[in-house]
Amino acid sequence: MKDLFEKIYKDKGPLGKWASQAEGYFVFPKIEGEISNRMKFQGKDVVTWSINDYLGLANHPEVRKVDAEAGVAYGSAYPMGARMMSGHTDLHEKLQNELAEFVSKEAAYLLNFGYQGMVSTIDALVSKDDVIVYDVDAHACIIDGVRLHMGKRFTYKHNDIESLEKNLERATKMAEHTGGGILVISEGVFGMRGEQGRLKEIVALKEKYDFRFLVDDAHGFGTLGKTGAGAGEEQGVQDGIDVYFATFAKSLASTGAFIAADQEIIDYLKYNLRSQMFAKSLQMQLVVGALKRLDMLRTMPELKAKLWENTNALQSGLKSRGFDIGTTQSCVTPVYLKGSIPEAMALVKDLRENHGIFCSIVVYPVIPKGLILLRLIPTATHDLDDVNETLDAFEAIRSRLENGTYKRLSASVAAAME
């Protein structure tokens, strides 16, 4: 018999195998200082484009004050126990009610983490006779939720309504055979490429097919829609979303998440979400902090306006300088360049060391071979100086990429990787 660990000693996994070249720099970097548009990386000042603090709330003085006061008032333990047993409070309920009202749903329920919450939501919504149809580019938490499903599941091509219809036809036949129902899952905004899920078209398909619709709006909540209620509001179809999900980890700059739906659905989920029933309640400091952040989201529209001013300046600046930013329809700003992984590493090093620009880098296998994706997340804390510095830096790195500088620089890296 084999030692269970044998495979681990041999193969560190698709990302782990790059650890010796990448760790501490390209992955697991330590970005230090107060969360803002400019932070420190390895002792150097950098413009930070890799933090999902869309509205700039993370380090807002009012937020920091409320967080600190809540820490003093409640510590980090309260309340102890799962919601169902001993972890329920008035403030948890108040936050749920305010979130539900904000996203125009009857009720909401708090989740300790978006990831586990989404896994459990999918798990609780379906039984083995049901069929799940979901976008192939869905976030890992959706994929893991689907993995728990004992019944049939189909993926549709990313944001491709024709493919969704084809799969809905298959799912309908299957569900008629098993006697189950259909759950369709999309993201409100796809976090890598920034495209909005085609929620309007998907909701329109309800005329033709019988299904319930779950939307993960992690990146849309707070950034899209007239009031910031997300991609459903932006596309005018919030009512057609049966279960709405968002995390506190992005616009609300905190930890935690929620789902919102009709009262009867939330009443069911609250008794069936295993990751919440058997886990300690969201700590009070986070609940109080989320109430404050939600209040600011509602009452300070200038934060979202500033976010979009920066987003528009960055995206139109990149486009006018001939960069390919794909098909983004949100603040998520991808820049696609052509090059190998070693070239990408040399390029990002140049960007950070010589230009003081810190953004995330995505390469194969997350995106096709030969492509480099630099991902920028604008926030309300950025300013036009940050944008202009970044645009100049991007022009400089593009010309070095094109004249082969990074190929030469990376030759030793490439040799080491072979």
Figure out which of the listed residues 41, 49, 102, 113 binds ligand PLP, where binding follows CB under 6 A. Answer: 113
- The reply on whether position 233 binds ligand PLP by CB under 6 A is no
Structure tokens at 260: 């919102």
Residues in 170-189 at the binding interface with ligand PLP, rule: CB under 6 A: 187
- Collapsing DSSP states into helix, strand and coil, what is residue 39? strand
Question: For 137-199, what is the HEC assignment?
Answer: CCCHHHHHHHHCCCCCEEEECCCCHHHHHHHHHHHHHHHHHHCCCEEEEEECECCCCCCECCH
Contact 231, 89 (CB under 8 A): no
* CA–CA gap between residue 107 and residue 101 (Å, rounded): 8
Figure out which of the listed residues 58, 141, 307, 331 binds ligand PLP, where binding follows CB under 6 A. Answer: 141
Identify which range of 14-22, 56-64, 110-118, 303-311 contacts ligand PLP by CB under 6 A.
Answer: 110-118
Figure out which of the listed residues 19, 161, 249, 413 binds ligand PLP, where binding follows CB under 6 A. Answer: 249
What's the closest the beta carbon of residue 239 comes to ligand PLP, in angstroms?
A: 22
Figure out which of the listed residues 114, 222, 230, 339 binds ligand PLP, where binding follows CB under 6 A. Answer: 114
Residues in 257-276 at the binding interface with ligand PLP, rule: CB under 6 A: 257
Residue whose CB is less far from ligand PLP, 49 or 113: 113
Figure out which of the listed residues 60, 92, 139, 375 binds ligand PLP, where binding follows CB under 6 A. Answer: 139
Q: How many degrees, rounded to 5, is the angle at CA 17 between CA 13 and CA 18?
A: 135
Strand partners, 131: 182
Residues in 195-224 at the binding interface with ligand PLP, rule: CB under 6 A: 216, 218
- The reply on whether position 47 binds ligand PLP by CB under 6 A is no
What's the closest the beta carbon of residue 189 comes to ligand PLP, in angstroms?
A: 8
Write out the DSSP string of 61-81. Answer: HHHHHHHHHHHHHHTTTPSPS
Residue whose CB is less far from ligand PLP, 114 or 334: 114
At 23, the amino acid letter reads E
Q: Give the Å distances, CA to CA, from 327 to 195, 196, 356.
A: 6, 9, 27
What's the closest the beta carbon of residue 257 comes to ligand PLP, in angstroms?
A: 5
Q: Which residues bind ligand PLP (CB under 6 A)?
A: 113-115, 118, 139, 141, 187, 191, 216, 218, 247, 249, 257
